[in-house]
Homo-oligomer: A and B are copies of this chain.
């Protein structure tokens, strides 16, 4: 149902992305379930029928938000993991990329966290879940090369916790830049587990 002719398709995709971003913002503020379609229409400037040109259901917006969040990050992480940087640098770059991505997708990230219990449990969200797992596997691999751990799994979970919590308090343009936060996290990990630690 999206247009097939390239020019129109491009315009359609552009518009849809704008719609998704606007909705991500509203969802981040009010919560997915607490946001009625009426509010989305106001936020996007569309009418009911208009919105449903871009998505078949409200839930699709959630899905597209997750895709916009995961896909570029996953790609970026793969590139970093594939490069041949020294392990500790690779970790640092990965965390930097991660937090810079979050900085530009704060709303998406907040929405993703909000609805995680759905995403983690429902079969139809398997795709998103798999991307998350793929990303975490990359982080784990980089971590493995960068440190020596009594319990690497716990270190990984600690890192995930720190980073995933960041959108709760991070404000772009605030005292801490995304890079400063990333380096703070990395430093903490390397101090505790880095091969040169102690």
Q: Report which of B33, B113, B151, B169 forms a contact with A157, defined as CB distance below 8 A.
A: B169
A180 and B198 CA atoms in complex are apart in Å by 21
Interface residues of A (CB under 8 A from B): 28-34, 110, 113-118, 120-121, 151, 154-155, 157-158, 160-166, 168-169, 176, 181, 184-185, 187-189, 191-193, 197-198
Identity of the chain B residue whose Cβ is nearest the Cβ of A176 in the assembled complex: B154
| Residues in B neighbouring A113, C-beta threshold 8 A | 113
| Residues in B neighbouring A165, C-beta threshold 8 A | 157, 160-162, 164-165
From DSSP, what is the main secondary structure of chain A's interface residues? helix
Q: Do the beta carbons of B185 and A116 come within 8 Å of each other?
A: no
Identity of the chain B residue whose Cβ is nearest the Cβ of A169 in the assembled complex: B157
A39 and B78 CA atoms in complex are apart in Å by 43
Q: Do the beta carbons of B163 and A29 come within 8 Å of each other?
A: no
Q: Do the beta carbons of B33 and A184 come within 8 Å of each other?
A: no
Q: List 29 A-B contacts (CB under 8 A).
A: A32-B33, A33-B34, A113-B113, A116-B168, A120-B168, A151-B184, A154-B181, A154-B184, A155-B188, A157-B162, A157-B165, A157-B169, A158-B162, A158-B184, A158-B188, A161-B161, A161-B163, A161-B165, A161-B166, A162-B162, A162-B165, A164-B165, A165-B165, A187-B192, A188-B192, A191-B191, A191-B192, A191-B197, A192-B192
Q: Chain B nearest CB: distance from A84 CB in Å? A: 28
